[in-house]
């Protein structure tokens, strides 16, 4: 009889715990139906959502499809072009070299890339305007000072965009061509987003570390964090799990497959394309969250010291002073920082000093140190307005925040 009681004891314990486990799982049950509603309305093909703390994933779900034509169901380990969510990763790479003592955030770019010496400035007419032509009214002027790594990583350098280019330029060639463009304003006087500027930071990493940029990331970040599905060039096998990119046809109200213009319309697997740190990475929700868990753990992840705590603090504090960036969101080093959560609908559930970054096709990644929570959203749709404030982003974070203590 005693032996029989001992045999049943684990089963009774499990039966007692099951309701508790189910309740924990059901806390986030409202997220998937809300995301499915966007799929059902034809606004997106599919979406992956993830909520985590600094040491565990609380919620991970997928709805919809990766491919409208084939109807393949979206899986939680599917890959997405994360676009500008690549920028914080590039900033982390630079920061690791700061911790190594090999460079400083306030070093001039020309110290490592001499072609950036003696830059000229042609003032543009607004934050989003291209550089003005070299007319007598807008004649080129010498830069008042060299641009620094900090300037570039906070988008206050004046660097513009290298838009018309061969898709297979190396990072070294990209740097030399970019250095020939005039700055859009004097360094440090304005805030204006520059994806090409962050690409140049990848070249700085190559010069300082002696490794190709992608190899440096693999060795120093992706491998230690266990990011097995983050890459500039998905393999043929990974490409089978790659979410297709879509645009909503304004006339037909149907999703149509589109190419990624930032990748210069090359295929995802094209290894001739350089490792573009500004917006070139593909990844999964489960990989991206590890970067933010490392940041919330003050630079450490599963026993691996990636960054020093002081460096994490420096990267995630406001760096842009009174310069106007985005609504309620100044810039840290590589990360956007939420200063006023009420200034944007998608941020109202965040506490001040939350940090993260969005991507052009709707991906989003945000960490809230005040609540100890990370939100990751993965979808692929072009031209949807401000991707940081998309209806999907708002609905996801609102539902997730409501489920938290």
Checking if the pLDDT of 4 tops 80, the result is: no
Checking if the pLDDT of 360 tops 90, the result is: yes
Residue 17 has what pLDDT?
41
Residue 1 has what pLDDT?
44
DSSP 243: P
Confidence of residue 129 (pLDDT cuts 50, 70, 90): very low
Confidence of residue 125 (pLDDT cuts 50, 70, 90): low
Q: What percent of the chain has pLDDT over 70?
A: 91
Residue 25 has what pLDDT?
54
Q: What percent of the chain has pLDDT over 90?
A: 86
Region 105-116 average pLDDT: 98
Contacts of 159 (CB under 8 A, 6+ apart): 147, 152, 178, 181, 183, 184, 194, 196, 197, 200
pLDDT digits (tens, 9 = 90+) for 214-254: 999 999 999 999 999 999 999 999 999 999 999 999 999 99
Residue 21 has what pLDDT?
38
CATH number for 89-214 (one of 3.40.710.10, 3.60.21.10, 3.30.360.10, 3.30.1490.270): it is 3.40.710.10
53: tokens are 């703390």
Q: At CA 76, angle to CA 270 and CA 348, rounded to 5?
A: 105
Residues 380 and 79 sit within 8 Å (Cβ to Cβ): no
Region 186-193 average pLDDT: 98
> What is the DSSP secondary-structure string of 175-224?
HHHHHTSPBSS-TTS-----HHHHHHHHHHHHHHHSS-HHHHHIIIIIHH
Checking if the pLDDT of 344 tops 60, the result is: yes
CA-nearest of 213, 217, 229, 151 to 184 is 151
93: tokens are 């790479």
Q: Where are the domains of the chain?
A: 89-214
Checking if the pLDDT of 371 tops 80, the result is: yes
Q: Length of the chain, please?
A: 405
CA-nearest of 337, 361, 393, 363 to 155 is 337
pLDDT digits (tens, 9 = 90+) for 49-100: 999 999 999 999 999 999 999 999 999 999 999 999 999 999 999 999 999 9
Confidence of residue 264 (pLDDT cuts 50, 70, 90): confident
List residues bridging with 357 in a β-sheet. 365
Residue 13 has what pLDDT?
43
Residues 291 and 225 sit within 8 Å (Cβ to Cβ): yes
In a 3-state reduction of DSSP, which class is residue 121? strand
Average pLDDT, the chain: 92
> What is the DSSP secondary-structure string of 45-68?
SEEEEEEE-SS-EEEEEEEEEEET
Contacts of 195 (CB under 8 A, 6+ apart): 84, 87, 161, 262, 278, 279
In which region does residue 209 sit, left (phi positive, over 0), alpha (psi from -120 to 50) or beta (all else)?
alpha
pLDDT digits (tens, 9 = 90+) for 29-46: 999 999 999 999 999 999
In a 3-state reduction of DSSP, which class is residue 141? strand
Quote the longest CA-to-CA distance of the chain.
Answer: 100
Region 306-314 average pLDDT: 98
Report how far apart, in Å, the C-alpha atoms of 74 and of each of 47, 67, 310 are.
7, 8, 39
How, if at all, do strands 300-301 and 72-73 pair?
A: unpaired
Q: How far is CA 77 from the centre of its chain?
A: 17
Region 263-283 average pLDDT: 95
Checking if the pLDDT of 287 tops 90, the result is: yes
Region 278-291 average pLDDT: 98
Checking if the pLDDT of 270 tops 50, the result is: yes
Whole-structure pTM over 0.85, yes or no?
Answer: yes
């Amino acid at each position: 009889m005693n032996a029989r009681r001992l045999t049943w004891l684990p089963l009774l314990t499990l039966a007692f715990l099951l309701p508790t486990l189910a309740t924990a799982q059901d806390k986030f049950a409202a997220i998937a139906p809300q995301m499915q509603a966007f799929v059902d309305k034809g606004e997106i093909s599919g979406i992956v959502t993830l909520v985590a703390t600094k040491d565990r994933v609380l919620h991970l779900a997928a709805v919809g499809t990766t491919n409208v034509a084939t109807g393949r169901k979206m899986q939680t380990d599917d890959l997405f072009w994360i676009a500008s969510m690549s920028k914080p990763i590039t900033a982390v790479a630079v920061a690791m070299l700061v911790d190594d003592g090999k460079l400083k955030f306030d070093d001039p770019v020309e110290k490592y890339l001499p072609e950036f010496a003696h830059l000229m400035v042609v003032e543009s007419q607004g934050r989003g305007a291209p550089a003005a032509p070299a007319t007598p009214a807008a004649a080129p002027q010498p830069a008042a000072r060299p641009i620094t790594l900090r300037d570039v990583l906070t988008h206050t350098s004046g660097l513009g965009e290298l838009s018309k280019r061969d898709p297979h330029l190396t990072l070294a060639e990209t740097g030399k061509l970019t250095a020939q463009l005039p700055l859009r304003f004097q360094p440090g006087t304005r805030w204006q987003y520059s994806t090409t500027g962050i690409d140049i930071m990848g070249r700085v990493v190559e010069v300082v570390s002696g490794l190709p940029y992608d190899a440096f990331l693999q060795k120093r970040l992706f491998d230690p964090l266990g990011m097995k599905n983050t890459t500039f060039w998905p393999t043929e096998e990974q490409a089978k799990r790659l979410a297709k990119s879509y645009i909503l046809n304004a006339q037909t109200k149907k999703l149509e497959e589109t190419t990624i213009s930032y990748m210069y319309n090359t295929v995802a697997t094209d290894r001739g394309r350089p490792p573009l740190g500004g917006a070139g990475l593909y990844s999964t929700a489960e990989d991206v969250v590890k970067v933010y868990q490392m940041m919330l753990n003050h630079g450490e992840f599963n026993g691996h010291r990636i960054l020093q705590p002081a460096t994490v603090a420096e990267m995630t504090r406001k760096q842009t002073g009174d310069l106007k960036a985005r609504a309620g969101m100044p810039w840290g080093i590589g990360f956007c920082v939420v200063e006023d959560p009420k200034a944007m609908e998608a941020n109202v559930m965040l506490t001040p000093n939350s940090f993260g970054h969005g991507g052009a096709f709707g991906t989003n990644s945000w960490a809230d140190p005040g609540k100890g929570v990370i939100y990751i959203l993965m979808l692929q749709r072009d031209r949807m307005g401000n991707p940081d404030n998309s209806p999907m982003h708002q609905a996801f974070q609102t539902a997730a925040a409501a489920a938290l203590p």
